[in-house]
Amino acid sequence: MKKVHLLSFLLVFTLLISCKIQEEKNEEKKPTAKAESTFVEQFADTKILRYDIPQWDKLSLQQKKLVYYLTQAGLSGRDIMYDQNYRHNLKIRRALENIYTSYKGDKSSDDWKAFETYLKSIWFANGIHHHYANDKFKPAFSKEYFDTLLKETNTTLTGEAYEVIFNDADAKKVNLDAKKGLIKGSAVNMYGANVTAEDVDNFYAKLSDPNDKTPVELGLNSQLVKKDGKVFERIYKSGGLYGAAIDKIIFWLEKAKGVAENEKQAEAFDALIAYFKTGDLEKWNEYNVLWATNTEGDIDYILGFIEVYNDPKGYRGSYESIIEIKDFEMSKKMAIVAENAQWFEDNSSIMDGHKKKNVVGVSYKTVNVAGESGDSSPSTPIGVNLPNNNWIRVVHGSKSVSLGNIIDAYGKSGGSGRLKEFALTDEEVEYEEKYGKIADKLHTALHEVIGHASGRINDGIGQPKETMKNYASTLEEARADLVGLYYLPNNKLVEMGISPDAKGVGKAAYDGYIRNGMITQLVRLELGNDIEEAHMRNRQLIAAWAFEKGAKDNVIEKVKKDGKTYFKINDYDKLHELFGQLLREIQRIKSEGDFEAGKHLVETYGVKVDQALHKEILDRNSQFKAAAYGGFINPVLVPTTDKDGNITDVKVTQAKGFAEQMLDYAKRYTTLPDVN
């Protein structure tokens, strides 16, 4: 819930850049230590990029070993994400990989190219459903051609796993439309086939106590199933569900503990290992307190079952890992945001009764990613704020990070074609080009550090996933986005030395947000679809609500020019007031557990799409070659050893390409059977 997943402003960032795609030569590229270019390849609606690990050679051998062990731990759980996303993913992926590596026939045909695109899309999404839109991929090759590939490569794929590639079953990974059945309409493999939404509500109602001051994140590390009428959890742990992969993770965490940078980091490793061994959510709480309060050291990590976006009921965490190295210079510059957290809370537009009286332990730093896996790879966030458990954040604080080298790699990948198409005036383009990047960085910082750390829930209300249910993620992301939008035009940021121009940054941020929420993010949807993804819902909710509420004063104007639609902000000060009003209301909804009001906001403003406008936007966007989505292959960490097998150094190389890395991962990190 606390992730800018392609997290809040990445959509603006990626949609407003347009790659100049050059045809790659066919010769095989040798691995190199540094990426000569961020661009690797493009297929379907996706582009694959590289990122470097800056200042790697400045790390000590102990730190390099720590990073290496943590990346291995993260990758050891890679299969878990596939299985969580859909029950047949592992079987399908492995069959397709066997075809890809074994087929000796014509690889220049349109059918083969369509097969290759289908497999690469599955690799990118960790399964057969789109990573963002949640729709099942539709192969552009026939069943007959696929049968030929299976036969010629001696590959076996039968039954439901075979049929689902071509039929209409399990069409949506995560369905958030309660009318279609939150669980029945979702293909995600976090519930047994016969479990109902009512079963989930009843099961956790018995375990939940709204007066518990230190609650666990119920359901976070389990699959809920029903057998003989009895509902129970299959726990993710050693000896339990996903135990084989978790044992590998534990193996590498034990090694990481041996080279920990400090005692508290070692204690956190102990707690995390104990959690993976037992599946005990109290151990997860213990670990998160240790992790959140340890701000020393240069190496950090995110590892476990964390974000709940893929659960239509908002309980189960998807597996992910991000291994981080501190960027000293940028962290020093941006630490001032965290240091002023109480000022931001005190001056917020939310009701006084919903403000925290003592904002504690908010840390913020820019990091460079050294490796990612699971829900964070290949599609990655650019910013993260954890832990998600609200009481830990209130009592012990939280950590916020911006992934600096990921942001830089995105920035190097293109130009401004889409911006000029969808911005109304030259002035709008000028402000975006001058202030857009700093506005994005500041919005990410404010979203993560202040937004997710702000506000309090009234006593006895319970956790947001229980009160807001399937709307919890959308409302939380909207709340965090609004905090950033509310403060971006504030001179306080200039006084703090992190903003060059309050008016210029605010104008660029507001133009970009309204343009994105009302127009540019629609290029990610197929015509006719509603908005399903929580971050997209959040952005349209904010933009559409502000457009409607400001109509009387013409705050935002819908403009037609040369047959094209634009949205023009006429009064930035009044828009700022509107953002403050909506922030106040969403915080009230969350603090008071007002489900009906939250539902009304999301369903009224965040879900439905103007189909005529959508078609126009898709037509206008068709001129651009750059993909709407971006993700990364990881650098490859290669240890060198002495004659006794002791690591003497760890070198960084770059993978040859996307397919090569995915096949290498399949070879080295297969930890689970086809069916779990």
- pLDDT average, residue stretch 467-486: 95
- Binned at pLDDT 50, 70 and 90, residue 237 comes out as very high
Write phi, then psi, for 482 (nearest 5 degrees).
-65, -35
- What is the pLDDT, as a whole number, of residue 9? 37
Helix (H) or strand (E) holding 472: helix 472-487
CA 607 to CA 540: how far, in whole Å? 8
Write the single-letter amino acid at 673: P
Q: Is residue 27 over pLDDT 80? A: no
Write phi, then psi, for 650 (nearest 5 degrees).
-130, 120
- What is the pLDDT, as a whole number, of residue 332? 79
Q: DSSP characters for 34-63?
A: S-S-SEEEEETTEEEE----TTGGGS-HHH
- pLDDT average, residue stretch 198-202: 95
Helix (H) or strand (E) holding 585: helix 572-592
Q: Is residue 13 over pLDDT 80? A: no
- What is the pLDDT, as a whole number, of residue 19? 29
- Binned at pLDDT 50, 70 and 90, residue 328 comes out as confident
**What is the separation of C-alpha 99 from the centre of its chain, rounded to a whole number of angstroms?**
30
Q: For residue range 122-154, list pLDDT tens digits in order.
A: 999 999 999 988 999 999 999 999 999 999 999
> Average pLDDT over the chain, rounded to whole?
92
Asked if residue 384 lies in contact with residue 448, where contact means CB atoms within 8 angstroms, the answer is: yes
- What is the pLDDT, as a whole number, of residue 45? 92
**What is the separation of C-alpha 453 from the centre of its chain, rounded to a whole number of angstroms?**
18
Closest CA to 297 of 184, 202, 165, 399: 399
Q: Radius of gyration of the chain from Cα atoms?
A: 24
Half-sphere exposure of 141 (CA within 13 A, CB side): 19
- Binned at pLDDT 50, 70 and 90, residue 10 comes out as very low
- What is the pLDDT, as a whole number, of residue 6? 42
- Binned at pLDDT 50, 70 and 90, residue 38 comes out as confident
DSSP count for the chain of H helices, then E strands: 26, 15
- pLDDT average, residue stretch 297-325: 97
With tokens 């009302």, the residue in question is 518
Write the single-letter amino acid at 480: A
Alpha helices by DSSP H, 602-674? 611-621, 658-668
Residue 233's region, left for phi above 0, alpha for psi from -120 to 50, else beta, is beta
Q: Quote helix, strand, coil % in the chain, to nearest 5.
A: 50, 15, 35
- pLDDT average, residue stretch 630-645: 96
Burial of 336 per CB tally in 10 Å (0-12, 13-18, 19+): middle
Q: For residue range 263-289, list pLDDT tens digits in order.
A: 999 999 999 999 999 999 999 999 999
Instruction: Compute the residue count for the chain.
Output: 676
Closest CA to 9 of 356, 435, 343, 608: 435
CA 273 to CA 267: how far, in whole Å? 10
- Binned at pLDDT 50, 70 and 90, residue 37 comes out as low
- What is the pLDDT, as a whole number, of residue 4? 52
Asked if residue 273 lies in contact with residue 250, where contact means CB atoms within 8 angstroms, the answer is: yes
Q: What angle do CA 592, 597, 603 make, to 5 degrees?
A: 140
- DSSP helix/strand/coil, 165: coil
Take residue 556 and report the two structure tokens written for it. Answer: 């935002």
Q: For residue range 352-368, list pLDDT tens digits in order.
A: 999 999 888 788 888 99
Q: Is residue 5 over pLDDT 60? A: no
Asked if residue 324 lies in contact with residue 299, where contact means CB atoms within 8 angstroms, the answer is: yes
| Greater pLDDT, 8 or 174 | 174
Of the chain, the percentage scoring pLDDT greater than 70 comes to 94
- What is the pLDDT, as a whole number, of residue 647? 97
Q: What angle do CA 263, 266, 270 make, to 5 degrees?
A: 135
Burial 555-583 (b: 16+ CB within 10 A, else e): bbeeeeeeeebbbbbeeeebbbbbbbbbb
Tell me the longest C-alpha to C-alpha distance in the chain. Answer: 77
- DSSP helix/strand/coil, 569: strand
CA 159 to CA 164: how far, in whole Å? 9
Helix (H) or strand (E) holding 273: helix 263-278
